[in-house]
Structure formats: structure tokens, C-alpha cells
Structure 1
Amino acid sequence: MSYLRSRITIEEYLNSITNRAKKNHVGSVLNTFNIFCNQKYNKSSQQILDDLSVEVKRTQSNDKVYVLFNQFKDWLLVDHPEIEYSFGKNQSLKRTIKARHPNTVQLYLIKIRSIFEEIGNIEINSRLFNKRVKVPKAEEEDPEPFTKEQMRLLLDRCSNHGKLKYMVLKDTGCRIGELVQLRKRDIDISKSPVELKIQASYTKTKKARIAFVTRETAPMLKRLLNKKQDDELIFGTSEDEYVATGTEKTLFAYYRKELAKDYPEFGDIYQSNGRHKKTIHSIRSYCATQCAEAIDETWGHGYIGHKKYLGQYIRNQKKMSEMFQRSENYLMIYESIEVIDQDERVKKLEEEQQKSRIDMIALTNIMSELAEIKADNAKKELEIKQLQNILGK
């Protein structure tokens, strides 16, 4: 049956991917691998895969596969100023290849290995692969969530629509890819707190979950929903999740750049990988951190949808609502500040009242002293008159 092929090509594999975000990611990895193959061997990635497939069948050995992956790994870990490629609209921009972070290298190897197994029919033993192809361990960088002060600076810099969008993010802990897919029908404003149903199809884990918004966010969200149809996107700028997510990341990068002019910490980057410490995902980290501070870390991770912790909260929706309400004051930016201001006003009023009480006591003491002096003077005047009467006789 020669008319039925046992394998597909790399291009056919890429075209079979329907999810645009995944397709772009895999395409980027394959493009990098193709550049490596052309520079190192003067052959395309497809030719290399075909040659290795024949070699493995002939020799019954994967040794050359491990050699290839080691060379690719070493190539990824260094800069290549001699290699320039085009990108952007009409391919008008130029860029050279920079060294990849070890975590990125690991992801590239996993993806290329998967393609070799799926397309090239080359079985690769995991234990031997990990033993023969070693990637240096990456320096760990703790994710940096926004503080309340930084969140307020960001919110105050945005348009009203942008402010609402980021307030929903900090209340719900949504991934930006989840937020841009939310529709009016996913929100129940009849409940208190207002409830959002994040559909399984929206999430990275493919598990639906419930989230809520705080009382400071709810009025603005309700006003926006009044202008929307049930099936209409709330924040997404496109039905294409990949395009909408890219738009939001670009917009956030603009706000970050503007804020960094006045507040340099917004421009800070990690030395180990050159990435910004503040990204749109830092808002999600803010939500997890505040929920953890309000209750505990398990709740913080579970509420924002981390798979390891999510299950125990999915089973008890009422408990989730109660726990969110306990976390609400920690999540709020504006109303919590107003509460603090009110406490300060009360404290100031109490101090003024205390001062008034002290002044009243002092005034009472003075009045008492004056009364005593007046009585003493009256007594002395009476004694003088009595003495005058005696002398007059």
C-alpha cells in the first residue's frame, strides 16, 4: 500500500495544529531548529530528520540522535551575532539570535524530541536522553507580584476601561488568556459577591472554575455589562485568543514603560534572563499573594486555578464564596484605603475629643480656683466692714 504514507512531514505536522498559540510556539521552535540545522550541517530540519530516521533503522542505535540534541543544546546556550533573521510586519525588522535561558532550552529540546518521535518514528528512551543530554540548571528567580501601592499606581495610570480590566484580573487571578475569552453570559451579577464562571475551554488546565470580584470592582463591571450582549466578549479585542492576548501584553508593556519613567522599579529586570520583573502575570501573582495572606497558601494557589490545589475548592462552591469574602479586604485597592482613612479620621476625632476633655477639666479647675478666690475676697471684705464698724463706735 505505497499510496499510504507511514509518516507526515514537519510542515504537515505544523499545519495540523489548530490552536493558534500552540501553532505559533511550535513554529518558533521549529524555525530555530531549522536555522541551527542550516548553519551546522547546511541541511534543512526535514532533511536531518529523514536522514536520522534512516540511520536509526539501519544501525538500531540512537547515538547520533543524542549527538544532535547535545549540539543543538550547546548552540542554543550562546549568542549568534552572525545570524540575522527578519520578523514583524512585511519582515521589515532584523534581529540576531541571542542565547536562550536554560529553561527555554529545556522546552525546545522537549518539543523537538516529541516531533522526532511523532514524525520520524524515532523512539527515544527518557532515562538515556536525560543522561546523555544535560542542560545546565537555571538560576531560580522568585516571581514578583505587585504590591498594593504598585497596583494603585498602575490602575491610576490606565483608562477607565483598562482600570476595570486590571481590577478584574487582581480580583480573580485570571490568566490574561482566560480574561480575553470571558463573555457576559459567564458572569452572574445576581450573586453576592459577583460570580464569574471561567469555562474549561478558556483555561490552561482545561478545568472550569469559579472566581469573584470585590465590592469595589462590581459597580464598574455591572455598568460595562449593561452595554454588552450575552454572547459578547467583555474585554477581548478579538475572537482569536492569540491575537487578543498579544494585544493585552503589548498594552501592558506600554503602561509599564510609562510608569518606569517616574517609578524605576517598574522597569526592573532579572539579571539571569533579562526578563521584566513586572509582567501582566504579576497581577495574577498579586491575587495569589493577597489570598494567601488572608487565609493560607493553599487557598491562594487554589483560587487562581493552580491544578494541584484546585480540586478541593471546586467541590465546595459555598466555601469558596465565604473564603473570598474573607480575602476581599486584602484584594481591594481603593475601598481598603478609604477604610484606613476613615480609621485615621476616627482616631484624630478621638484625639481631639480627648484634648477637649483635658481642656474642660483645666477650665473647670480654673473656675473652681476663681470661685475660691472670689469667696475668699468676699470674706475679707466682710471682715473689713466689721472692723470698720467696731472702730467707728
Structure 2
Amino acid sequence: MSYIENKITIEEYLNSVQDKGKKNHIGSILNQFNIFCKQKYNKSSQQIMDDLYNEVKETGVKDKIYIMFNHFKDWLLIDHPEITYVIGVKKNIERTIEAKHPNSIRTYIKVIRGIIEEIGNLEINNRILLKRVKIPKGEKDEPEPFTKEQMRLLLDRCSSKTRLKYMVMKDTGCRTSELVQMRKSDVDTSKVRISIKIQARYEKTRRASTRFITKETEPMFRRLLKHKKENELLFGSNEDKYIAKTSEKVLFSHYRKELSKDYPEFEKIYQGNGRHVKTLHSIRSFTTTQCARAIDESWGHGYTGHKKYLDQYIRDKEDYLERFLRSESHLMVYETIEVIDSDERVAKLEFEQKQTKENMITLLQVMDQIKDIKKDNENKNKQIKELQMILKSK
């Protein structure tokens, strides 16, 4: 049945990917792989994959696949200032290809391996691949959350519209992809604190969850709601979440650059991977850290939607809100409120109840005494009247 192809092209494979974010991610890696193939072998990535397929089909030997991956790994480990490309809507921003972090290289190898296996129906042995293609271990940098002082510096520098976005992010610990998909219909203003339902389709974990707005954010948030239709996006600039997410990253980069002129720590980068220390994810880390300080680490991760911890908190809605209220003061950067632990509050209520009970007993005792005095007075008045009657009769 030669008329039925047993392999597909790279383009056909890419078109079969439904998720736009995943498709863009794979497309970006394929673009780098294509540049590598042209520079190293003077052939396109499609030609290289076709040649590898034919080689294995004719000889049954896969050595050249592992050799190619080793070449690709070595190519990714170094800068390529001689290779330039343009980005941006107007294609007016020029970039050069820089060395990739070992973790990124592992991702690149994994994606290209998957494509080769998929389009050529070839199985690549994982043990041999790991043995033949040795990727150096990368330095691991700990994510650095915003401090309260840094959070305030960022908020003060932003426009009022952006400030509200970042305040909602630090209140809820939401991901950028979740923020840009929030709609007015997800908001509930009927409770003691405004809540936002993060729909399962917004969530990376595909689990719906509830987050809350602090008292300091509430006035600005209510004003926003007044100008939104029921199913309108609250913060997203585009119905396409990937376009909206990219816009938010660009906007944050702008504010980070502005802040770094006065506060150099905002321009700090990790030595291990060359990435900025302060990113939009640092706001989410701020939420996790502050909630952990208020209660404990599992609550910090659970509230921000980490799957491992989420289940233990979503069942009891009252306890969930109670924990947020205890965390609220830690999350606020402009205001502070007195937070009383539930045990302390119960003890205070019990003491007040005891005092009230004692006061009631005292009051009843006084009432009884008054009643006795009145009764005694009535008896004395009766005796006086009787004496007066006796005197009149004489």
C-alpha cells in the first residue's frame, strides 16, 4: 500500500498540535533546530530528518541519529553572534543566538526526539541517548519572591490600571495565564471578601480553585467591575490568552527596566541561566511566601493552586476563607489589619460570655433584693395602716 504514507512532514506534525501555547513552543525549538541544520550540514531540518529516516530504513543502524543529537547539544551550548534574527510585531528587533541553559537543552533534545519518532515512526533508545549525548548539569537557582518593600516600589511605579492587575496577582497568587482569562462572571461579591473562581480551563493543573481579594484592593476592584459586562475579560488585552500573556510579559519588562534605573536589584539576573530574578512569577512567589509566613508552607502552596497541596484545602470552604483572612495582613502592602488567631478569638468570646453570665447573675440577685425590699415595705405600710385604724377607733 505505497499510496499510504508511513511518515509525515514536520509541517504536518506541527499542524496536528491543537494547543496554541504548545504549538508556539515546539515551533520556536524547530526554528532553532532548522538554523542549526543549515549551519552545520547545509540542509534544512526536514532534509536531515528525511535522510536519517532513509539511513535507518536501509541499514537498520541509528548511530547517526545520536551523532546528530550530540552535534545539536554542542551547538546549543555556545553563543552564535554571527547568527541574527528579528522579533517583534514590526520585525524591527534584532537578536543573536545565545548559549542555552542545560535545562533548556534537555527540553530541546526531548522535543526534537519526539518529532523524529513521530514523523518517521522511529524509536530512539533512551538509555543510549543519555549515554551518547551527555548534557552538563546546570546550576540551580532558587526562585526569589518580591519582598513587601519591592512589591510596593513596583506598584507605586505603575499606572493605576497596571497597579490593580499586580495587586490582584499578589492577593490571589494567580499565574499570568490565569489573570488574562479572568472574567466578571468569575467574581462573587456576596461574601465577607470578594472571591474569584479560577476556572479549571484557566488552570495549569486543570483544577478549579477559589482566590480572594484583600481589603486594600477591594475599592479599586469594585470600580473596575462597574465598567465591565457580565462575561467580559477583567484584565486580558486579547481573547487569545497567548497574545495577552506575551503582552503582560512585555509590560512587566518595561516597568522592571524603569525601576532598575533607581533600584539596581530589579535588573539582577541569575548567573546560572541568565534570566532575570524579578519576573511576573516573582509576584506569585510573594503570595506563596506571605501565606506560608502567616500559617504554614503547605497552605502557601495550596492557596496558590499547587496541585500537591490544593486538595486538602478546597473541601472546607469556611476554613479556606478563615485561612485567607489570617493571611490577609501579610499579603497587604499599603494597609495593615489586626489578625486574631481563631483559638485566641474563641478564648476571647468565651471570656466575654462568662463575664456576661456573671453580670446577669448579679443583676438577678439585685432584682431579688429589690423585690424583697418592696415586699418588706408593703408589709410595713400595712402595719402602719392597721395602727392608724386602731387609734381612730379609740
Q: TM-score per shorter chain, which class?
A: 0.7 to 0.9
Q: CA RMSD in A?
A: 1.7
- C-alpha deviation, 1:229, in angstroms: 0.9
Alignment-derived partner of residue 359 in structure 1: none
Verify the 8 A CA contact 2:84 2:97 in the aligned structure 1. yes
Letter in 2 for 1:98: E
Letter in 2 for 1:269: I
Verify the 8 A CA contact 2:268 2:277 in the aligned structure 1. yes
Query: Are residue 33 (structure 1) and residue 11 (structure 2) matched?
Result: no
Q: Aligned with 2:94: secondary structure?
A: strand
The 10-residue stretch of structure 1 (204-213 or 138-147) with the greater mean CA deviation from structure 2: 204-213
Q: Spell out the pairing of 1:217-236 with structure 2 (5 A cutoff).
A: 217-236=217-236
Verify the 8 A CA contact 2:200 2:206 in the aligned structure 1. yes
Identity of aligned residues (%): 63
Deviation by residue 1:163-220 (Cα, 9 ceiling, x = unmatched): 1110100011101111000000111111222111111111112221111111111222
Q: Aligned with 1:220: secondary structure?
A: helix
Alignment-derived partner of residue 131 in structure 2: 131
Whole-Å Cα distance in 1 between the matches of residues 143 and 321 of structure 2?
A: 27
Query: Are residue 315 (structure 1) and residue 315 (structure 2) matched?
Result: yes
Q: Aligned with 1:202: secondary structure?
A: coil
Whole-Å Cα distance in 1 between the matches of residues 20 and 284 of structure 2?
A: 23
Letter in 2 for 1:234: L
Q: Spell out the pairing of 1:292-307 with structure 2 (5 A cutoff).
A: 292-307=292-307
Structure 1 residues 4 and 315, CA gap change in structure 2 (3 angstroms): farther
Whole-Å Cα distance in 1 between the matches of residues 43 and 69 of structure 2?
A: 16
Deviation by residue 1:304-348 (Cα, 9 ceiling, x = unmatched): 112222222233333221211111111111112x779xxxxxxxx
Alignment-derived partner of residue 164 in structure 1: 164
Alignment-derived partner of residue 196 in structure 1: 196
Whole-Å Cα distance in 2 between the matches of residues 41 and 256 of structure 1?
A: 41
Whole-Å Cα distance in 2 between the matches of residues 339 and 198 of structure 1?
A: 28
- C-alpha deviation, 1:133, in angstroms: 1.8
Structure 1: gaps spanning 5 or more residues: 341-393
Alignment-derived partner of residue 253 in structure 2: 253
The 10-residue stretch of structure 1 (86-95 or 16-25) with the greater mean CA deviation from structure 2: 86-95
Letter in 2 for 1:102: P
Alignment-derived partner of residue 283 in structure 1: 283
- C-alpha deviation, 1:225, in angstroms: 0.8
Alignment-derived partner of residue 67 in structure 1: 67
Alignment-derived partner of residue 273 in structure 2: 273
Letter in 2 for 1:227: H
Alignment-derived partner of residue 120 in structure 1: 120
Alignment-derived partner of residue 350 in structure 1: none
Alignment-derived partner of residue 208 in structure 2: 208
Letter in 2 for 1:133: V
- C-alpha deviation, 1:90, in angstroms: 4.6
Whole-Å Cα distance in 2 between the matches of residues 12 and 242 of structure 1?
A: 22
Verify the 8 A CA contact 2:329 2:338 in the aligned structure 1. no
Whole-Å Cα distance in 1 between the matches of residues 239 and 89 of structure 2?
A: 21
- C-alpha deviation, 1:62, in angstroms: 2.5
Letter in 2 for 1:57: K
Verify the 8 A CA contact 2:6 2:120 in the aligned structure 1. no
Q: Spell out the pairing of 1:42-61 with structure 2 (5 A cutoff).
A: 42-61=42-61
Structure 2: gaps spanning 5 or more residues: 340-394
Whole-Å Cα distance in 1 between the matches of residues 153 and 338 of structure 2?
A: 19
Whole-Å Cα distance in 2 between the matches of residues 240 and 108 of structure 1?
A: 25
Whole-Å Cα distance in 2 between the matches of residues 211 and 92 of structure 1?
A: 40
Q: Aligned with 1:107: secondary structure?
A: helix
The 10-residue stretch of structure 1 (92-101 or 219-228) with the greater mean CA deviation from structure 2: 92-101
Deviation by residue 1:12-41 (Cα, 9 ceiling, x = unmatched): 222233333222211110010011111111
Alignment-derived partner of residue 331 in structure 2: 331
Whole-Å Cα distance in 2 between the matches of residues 207 and 126 of structure 1?
A: 32
Alignment-derived partner of residue 187 in structure 1: 187
- C-alpha deviation, 1:265, in angstroms: 1.1
Whole-Å Cα distance in 2 between the matches of residues 278 and 71 of structure 1?
A: 34
Q: Aligned with 2:201: secondary structure?
A: helix
Structure 1 residues 189 and 65, CA gap change in structure 2 (3 angstroms): same
Whole-Å Cα distance in 1 between the matches of residues 331 and 133 of structure 2?
A: 45
Whole-Å Cα distance in 1 between the matches of residues 86 and 113 of structure 2?
A: 26
Alignment-derived partner of residue 4 in structure 1: 4
Alignment-derived partner of residue 16 in structure 1: 16
Whole-Å Cα distance in 1 between the matches of residues 153 and 84 of structure 2?
A: 39
Whole-Å Cα distance in 2 between the matches of residues 71 and 262 of structure 1?
A: 44
